[in-house]
Amino acid sequence: MRSAVVVGAGVGGLAVAGALARSGWQVTLLERAERVRPEPTAVVLWPNGVRALQALGLGAGLAAIATPLPDGGVRRPDGHWLVQPRAIPADRMPVVVHREDLHDALIAGLGERVELRTGVTVRHVRVEPGERPAVSDGRQTIEVDLVVAADGTDSGIRRQLAPESRVVSSGSAAWRAVIPWYQAPRLPDDQPLAGEILGAGYRFVAASLGERGSSGGSTRGGIYWVATAAGAPRPEPPETQLALLRRWYAGWPAPIGALLDATDPADLIQQEVRELRPLPRAYGFPAGPGGVVLLGDAAHAMPPHLGQGACLAFEDAATLASLLREARLPDAVQAYDRIRRPRAATVVRQTRRMSAVLQARGRLALRARDAALGTINSRLLSSAAASAAQWRPPT
């Protein structure tokens, strides 16, 4: 029986651990935290992420918890439309899912061949030509056929295998929250909720998780919102951070003020927006009869502006699982590297272009952006949407 260690129990690690176990592998899943617990926020999945989960055998579970996310257009803080909402074909429409619902679905897919160990920090990875790959926490070494590094943006395994790739700040911070339906404000039927509103270095997006009072959609329904602002994360307590957000977004179109007022400070999640520069030189490292691969944010952490972080992690997992079914292990490791690096580079390049558009500051830069945004944003989003819609797992 082939064996694997998956380092990191985020969405990518859970997805690939379950996929390997369902293919007959014995999997050890290592997580540095003492508990495997998702953030109480949400995630947007584009068609490529949905298709990857379907390829992993998790499509039915996703359908039960996902809410379609129609295009809401792009507006300025004064309410002026920069990009009008557009109809999206069903096969290109993203969905929004509560992270806790997604986590439950991934946990349910692990099966009995996955041994989960928490409180384990991997400090060393062995990648030698004549030896099986191995990981160690300084006390115990685990030898396996395959090591999957899904240990996030601050991946210790990536630092050893691809030290040229460094984590850098993208120059902004993001705040996210889900307002449960029982405390969410009631909005007029003609008031748009989904979509983007862009200011000078500021951005706000909101979406519904299921329908108010409905048993369909997410089992943890409500209104999900994300606010992004240029600058470093704030050190103040959540109550003060919410007060700052209310001041920064004062005068912006409804329902932003009502959503911020309805948010419980305990539900507010702040995060510095970071990325990898440059991307690792390789995503697959053959070792003896097997090898090591990088997956998810450990391989291609990027700003969230196109909502592709989780989607690419699921693509990674589906690609690796497919290759391991069809090829010898060392060949699969090399094929994974060959397939995933150009794909990740394309999405990261699209994301950085969007980041440059969103972070425009100064009167002249904003005028130029607003004048061109309809064209630029439509072209970038169309390119990203087409890339997401066209992706298929290898066969």
CATH code for the domain of 24? 3.50.50.60
Band of pLDDT at residue 336, cut at 50, 70 and 90 = very high
Contact between 218 and 67 under an 8 Å Cβ cutoff? The reply is yes
Residue range 123-149, pLDDT digits in tens: 999 999 889 999 999 999 999 999 999
329 and 198 together in one domain: no
Q: Give the span between the Cα atoms of 134 and 363, in whole angstroms.
A: 54
Alpha helix segments (H runs only) across the chain: 11-22, 47-55, 59-63, 99-108, 156-161, 238-248, 256-262, 297-300, 309-326, 329-358, 363-390
Helix (H, G, I), strand (E, B) or coil at 41: coil
Q: Is residue 298 over pLDDT 60? A: yes
Reported as a pLDDT band with limits 50, 70 and 90, residue 370 is low
Task: Sort strands 202-209 and 222-230 into parallel, antiparallel or unpaired.
Answer: antiparallel
Query: Reading across the β-sheet that carries 222-230, which strands appear in turn?
Result: 81-83, 74-75, 196-198, 202-209, 222-230, 166-180, 269-277
Q: Are residues 198 and 280 in the same domain?
A: no
Q: Let me know whether 36 and 118 are in one domain.
A: yes
Diameter of the chain measured on Cα atoms? 66
Give whichever of 188-197, 314-323, 379-388 has the largest mean pLDDT: 314-323
Q: For residue 216, what pLDDT band results from cuts at 50, 70 and 90?
A: very low
Judged against a pLDDT cut of 60, whether residue 373 lies above it is answered with no
In a domain, residue 341? The reply is yes
Q: Specify the DSSP element, H or E, that contains 180.
A: strand 166-180
What is the count of structural domains for the chain? 2
Q: Which residues is 274 bridged to in the sheet? A: 169
Residues 54 and 134 in one domain: yes
Alpha-carbon dihedral sign for residues 181, 182, 183, 187: positive
Does residue 75 lie in a domain region?
no
Q: What's at 394, amino acid-wise?
A: P
SS3 98: strand
Look at residue 176 in the predicted model and tell me its pLDDT: 97
Last residue of a domain, one of 274, 300, 316: 274
Residues 120 and 189: their CA atoms lie apart, in Å, by 49
Give every CB contact of residue 9 below 8 A, 6+ residues apart in sequence: 17, 29, 30, 31, 33, 36, 116, 118
Q: Does residue 371 sit within a domain?
A: no
- pLDDT for 365 equals 52
CA distance 113 to 115: 7
Of the listed ranges 1-10, 77-86, 321-330, the one predicted with least confidence: 77-86
What is the reported pLDDT for 369? Answer: 53
Choosing from 249, 274, 299, the residue where a domain stops is 274
The answer on 138 and 30 residing in a single domain is yes
Judgement on whether residues 214 and 126 belong to the same structural domain of the protein:
no
Number of H helices, E strands in the chain: 11, 19
Integer Cα distance of 297 and 294 in angstroms: 9
**Residues in the chain, how many?**
395
CA-CA distance, 108 to 103, in Å (whole number)? 9
Is 30 found in the same domain as 155? Answer: yes
**Percent of the chain whose pLDDT exceeds 70:** 91
pTM of full prediction above 0.85: yes
Residue 16's nearest CA partner among 121, 91, 113, 92 is 113
Assess contact for 2 and 24: CB atoms under 8 A. yes
Structure tokens at 375: 């064209």
Cβ burial 236-265 (10 Å sphere, 16+ → b, else e):
eebeebbeebeebbeebbebbebbbebbee
Q: Which of 114-128, 334-348, 376-390 shows the lowest per-residue confidence on average (mean pLDDT)?
A: 376-390
Is the C-alpha dihedral spanning 46, 48, 50, 52 positive or negative? negative
Q: 147 and 222 share a domain?
A: no
- Same domain? For 136 and 281 the reply is yes
- Answer with the one of 240, 274, 308 that is the final residue of a domain: 274
Residue 201 lies in domain: 170-274
Cα–Cα nearest to 125, from 135, 117, 116, 115: 135
For residue 132, the one-letter residue type is: R
74 vs 387, more confident: 74
What CATH number is associated with residue 242?
A: 3.30.9.30
Contact indicator for 217, 67 with CB cutoff of 8 Å: yes
